[in-house]
Structures are given as structure tokens and as C-alpha cells.
Structure 1
Amino acid sequence: MKAVVYARTGAASEVLRVVERDVPAPGPGEVRVEVAVSGLNPIDFKLRQGSGPSAPVPEIVPHQDGAGTVDALGSAVEGLRVGQRVWLREAAFRRLTGTAQEYTVVPAHLATPLPDGVSFEAGASIGIPAMTAHRALTVHEDAPARLRRGSLAGAVVLVAGGAGAVGHASIQLARWAGAEVIATASSSAKGDLALASGAHHVVRHRAPGSDPAARIRELAPDGVDVIVEVAPSPNARLNAAVARRHGCVAVYADTGGGELTLPVGPHMFGNLRYQFLITFEMRDAAKANALAAVTDALGSGALPVGEEAGLPLIRYALEDTAHAHEALEGGVTGKVLILP
């Protein structure tokens, strides 16, 4: 079978290569999946560059997310069967073999049945983005531990960068759960994508002469309950100005920053909370709740992908994985997918 590997960190075109490998056999508690689509996330190229929680060792197959068909079962696997369509998550976290290959082996609990009617492309797009979005929407002290249809009714959610993959999933899950959703966007094109995702309102925060805080306060006079934040440093004062008392800023990325400075007064007197999060380090209960909610939302049709649904799909062949990494590093708008 063909697999993409790297044995040292560095630029995509320098370290990623396609090799032939034997088809792996699943061990106890594992399943083998024929990969239809591999989903690329920023963590994948950051690990390849040498950042992140673990240092590369020889021949890592990258990519955490994917979707495909169960091809073989190891011993002691329950709840899955050969021929079943599944979506995959965390396939390469602290492991040497991800989804950038024709077949992959994962612990069975990382393979979740894909509801009927949901495409492999949608399944490969939801792992890290949707799990992250669910966590961001449930860290508020008054939020439910698990989202359900209508469970955020009455809440106002602000999604920073609504055209990104996590922003897209956050808008969709918040809308499905009944929240009023405001998204920020840096351009009219990205604003259109946020609206297509389901945002009720879009605020162009870089438009000449704009006052995004005033516009958000106009849309939400009492303030915003939850802010799903991709750029905490540039947006710190905006968030302080628009957060409702007892609100929460859920930070899942560090675009345009590196360090964060906060005005103490507005946060203290507003009883505001900052919650930093990363999908891999979520506690088991939070992961289980996210998995259940995302599966429910998928089955109800609440997490579509594609440009008409607010998330353009950019497809590459397995042999072009280096170009896919370069596109994502370069800031392409949409979900980058590899088709083995």
C-alpha cells in the first residue's frame, strides 16, 4: 500500500515522501480501516515542523482525522464490524501511524460509525474541528456538559474567524443547540461562508472605519455568553468589551499572538473566565460528551461541509500531500482533504 511518511522535521516538500508499505494487521482492540479520505489540520503540519507535544521518530505517517471502511478487526473488538463506514480522530496522536495512507490501524475507540447519508469527506472533516468546537461551547460554567438540540437556547455565541474549520463547526453546533450566533470575518467572502455555516450575524472586524465591539454590542446589548477564540492576543480588548457578565472566552488556537495581555478590571468585575483547550488533552468525560453530541449532530444533518455549507473542500491526491500541507500553512480558506 502507499503511505506518506516523514522521518525528520522540516518543510513539507523536503521531508514528506510517499513510500510502499505492507498492509498492517490490527492487534487486540484495534481495527484496520481502508482510508477513503484523510483530513488535514494545522496540528498536522505543526508536528511535521517540529512543534507540539512529541518529537518525531523515524517514519511517522501524519494526520489525525479521516474516514473510511472497517477492513479487519483485531481480537476483543465490540461495536464495530467489517464493512462498516467510520470516521477517525486522533489517529496519529502519540502514535506513529495516522490517516495519510491507504490503510490505517487504530484503537477501536478512535473509530466511530458514520451515520447513513454522511459522506466520507464530511466524516474526515469533523474530528479535531468538531470535537474542539464542542469543548469550546461547553466550558462556560452554566453550559451543558453535552450539547443537544436546543440546549443552548437563549445563549449568545461569538465565533472569531467563522470561516475556519473550527469556526465552521462551532457555528453549526451552536446553531443546532439553539444559540444566537455572531461570527467575525476578515473579508466579505469569509463573511459569506460564516453565514452559509449558519451564523445569524457577521461582523467585518477589519473593514475600514469599523467598530466591531460597537456592532457586536448592537447585536447583543447584554453581551456575549461564549466567545470561541482563534486569536486571543489581537482580540483581547474586543472580547473584554463584548463579553456578558460571567461569560467565557474559549481559546483553541494562537493566531497572531504568542503572548496574551488582559485588562484586569473588566475581567475581574465581569467575573469572566478564560478557558484554554486542546482536543487531545480533554478529559475522558468531555471527549465522550463531545463524541456523542457530534454523532447526534451528524445524524441530524447539522454538520454539512462544502462551499454551500460554509466550508469549501480542497482535495489533493495522496502523492500531493506536501502541496496540501503547503496550502494549509499558506492560509487557504476551507478544509484540506487527501484522497488516498
Structure 2
Amino acid sequence: MSTAQMSTAQALVSPVRTPEEPAAMVEHVLTVDCVESAGIVHAVSGFLLGHGCDIIDIKQYGDKAQGRFFMRVHFSAAQEPVSTDELRRNFAPVAEKWQMNWQLEPHGRKRRVLVMVSKMGHCLNDLLFRARTGDIPVEIVAVVSNHRDQEGLVHWHDIPFFHLPVTKDTKTDAETRLLELVDAFDVELVVLARYMQVLSDGLSARLAGRTINIHHSFLPSFKGAKPYHQAYERGVKTVGATAHYVNAELDEGPIISQQVIDVDHTYTADDLVAVGRDAECAALRNAVRWHCEGRILLLGNRTVILR
């Protein structure tokens, strides 16, 4: 190969960045929750402008009854001049002035998730697939189950599986071990993907705001065991599923996402169970996605979803 040919080949595989090319952009998401007051949007947008940031998307909501203001800002900044830590440090005085609850994270950062499951694996399988393909911004770091039915599936995804049987006598020890795993894996979110055990009040309080459950009915209707069979007895015309945050009250936590599917009188109770699986997967998937994208803010026992 001649010298000219070698130069041409190198240019093809190692293109030189020209001065005209823009600098790499780093995107972030800022979420804000504070007392409603005039000037908040101006303060936030002014801060971003002063740091050379460009707003890509902004969602906001002011609850007049509660006097609370919520905002989510997706913005970009030149990578070299402004780091995430620098943005956080510089925004802190603004947040303090307006008494904000806030978070500032790189856009698309994968949250560390621990999934809990019992025997039924459809919701777990959906989350594993979407995490693997990058459809949802999560890294599933461990799966915990009180049964071994889904162990093979979890191992196929090369994810640690922990079998923690739960009985009346072992419940306290199992929950203690679960908290050890949450700490050891630096877990940011716990997802109950058809985990058919009620968490203790103490555990629910410890994981408040970072535990999502999927309930196989359209809450607040048909709580407790076998909700599809309850729905069948009532002759429902829609089957639903509800994803919600866990609190000390069974199936009473703040609702995040709900899905419904039309049915009719020809459906048996078993048919409703089968149809409901799709609704469960969709509701849970949305809840996990919105939580990890920083779109959910709590307002008492309700949620504000900025999307």
C-alpha cells in the first residue's frame, strides 16, 4: 500500500474532529417540589441560562388546593464547562432560598433495582427483557423470591438470585436479609413484581417512596386475594391492574399507573386472570419507567406524574 493509500485508509477509520463540530452535550433532569410562589420558574430558568444550559423539555404543575408547585426540567449543557456535581453545588443556594425538595441527575442514568417475585413470572420477565434491551433506564442488580420457580430465568439473564422462604416464623429474618441485600447492592428501587407476601409495617416504612407494587386489580376495587375472581362475581366489563407505592396500609399506597382491558360476559374467571397479565405488565412497566425518569412526585397519598 502506498503512503497516499495509507493516509486515505487512516482517515476513513480515524476521522479527525474539526473545530466546527459542536462540543459533546451532557443532558440532565432537575425535579423540584416546593411551596407555590411567584418567581420559581424564573429562578430555575435563570439559573440554567446562567450556566449555559438549554432547556429541552419542561413540565410543571401547581396544586392550588395544597399550595404546592412541581416541576421537571430536562436540559443540556456543554460537557466540559459544567459537571453534574458543579450543577448541584451551584443550584443548592437557589433550592435553599425557595425551600425546594429537589434532585438533579444525569438524563438516562440507570437506577439500581431489586425485583421481588413469587411464582408468577410474567411481570418479572417483562422487566428483565426491557432492562436488557435498554427500553427502561434500570439495572436489575438482584432478584429475591420466596420460591424457586423463576430462578432459571434470572440466572439466564446473569443476575444474582436469592431464595428467601417466608413463613410466620421466618418472616422477620427474611426481611432482615432483604434489607442487607438492599444495602449491599446499593439498591435505589425495590419492585414487587407479583410478590405475594405482605411487607411488615417496619419494612414498608424503611423503604417508603422507593418500593413499587403491582396489584392485579383496578384499585380501590377488589382488594386482597383473588381480585379477578371477585371481579368475575360482579360481572365487570373491564379488567384492570394498578401499580402503586407501598405503605403500611395494604393496597392503599399512592397510585402511579393503571391499565384496563375490556372484557364481556363470555369471560370466565380464568380468562380474566389471563387477560389481566397484560394489564399488570403494562402498569408496572410504566410505574418503574416514570419513577426512574424522575417523573413522579408525591402529594400526600397522591402522585403527580410530570410526563
TM-based fold match above 0.5: no
Query: Which protein has the bigger strand share?
Result: 2
Q: Normalization by structure 1: what TM-score?
A: 0.29
Q: Normalization by structure 2: what TM-score?
A: 0.32
Which one has a bigger Cα radius of gyration?
Answer: 2
